[in-house]
Structure 1
Amino acid sequence: MRLMPVAVAVAVLLTACGPKPTEAPTDGEAVRERAQTAQTARRRTGAEVQQRGLNRVIRTVYLCNNGERLSVDFDNPREMATVRNSNGEAVDLFQERAASGLWYRASGYELRGEGIMARWTADGREPTDCRAVD
């Protein structure tokens, strides 16, 4: 039964040998400095942000004036966009050169816009203005 006191003593010694916890600053100025340092470390240059966006698929949801909800997957590497409407119907559009903003189209369908606003034209229907919500 001598093992029990030895085990307790070893456990106490091991916990006492660990690194001392560091305290985070709690006063306003020190906290603000820490937050700014963390933000600066994560900040990317404009070129890095643009390159990251150009090499991935970005999903955006639009709500349109005609009540339609569009989910759009912008596949930047393939220069395409897949538009899904509220009924789940999907159409693939191909990227066109635009002076500014976005422009995708294919056989009677077109998505064109700038910023959070876009105009959706579906085959045989009146164009409708849409606003990005995601």
Structure 2
Amino acid sequence: MCTFQPKNYHSLTDYQPPTWAEELKSIPEKRIQLAQLPTPIHKWTLNNVPAHVELFIKRDDLTGSTLSGNKVRKLEFILASAVSRGCKSVITCGSMQSNHCRATAVAARELGLGSHLLLRSTDPIMPSFNNLGNLLPSMLCGSKIYLIPKNS
């Protein structure tokens, strides 16, 4: 089993929303840095696109090796709330190969939190472990995994 230690650069900070979001009903109060931000924006060149059209891609695959993608952006707020409230564990759900569940398990472990993953499975008694994919890192991080039957 992997043994992550909480990292000292994961500190809670007060969150100041951008001006366009100040009137929203629910604004997070805290944030905890998990991602390596800002990520770059690259110009994207594709065939058969009119000459007057420019395409750009936000490289959220570069937010960090274990927490890549946009999942880490919301986890910075969700886990900050959990830490600031003194929670010991987090619970989330998804499919057996959920990127969100894997990212939650890794981030929770980095912060010293436990994680409980409710995973939808076609066979909750004998799941197929032929393709562990995202399930393996979750298991290695010590997540408690609960298999929930998929509804037909």
**TM-score w.r.t. structure 1 length?**
0.25
Q: Which has the larger radius of gyration?
A: 1
Between Structure 1 and Structure 2, the one with more strand by share is 1
The structure, 1 or 2, with the larger RCO (C-alpha pairs under 8 Å, 6+ apart) is 2
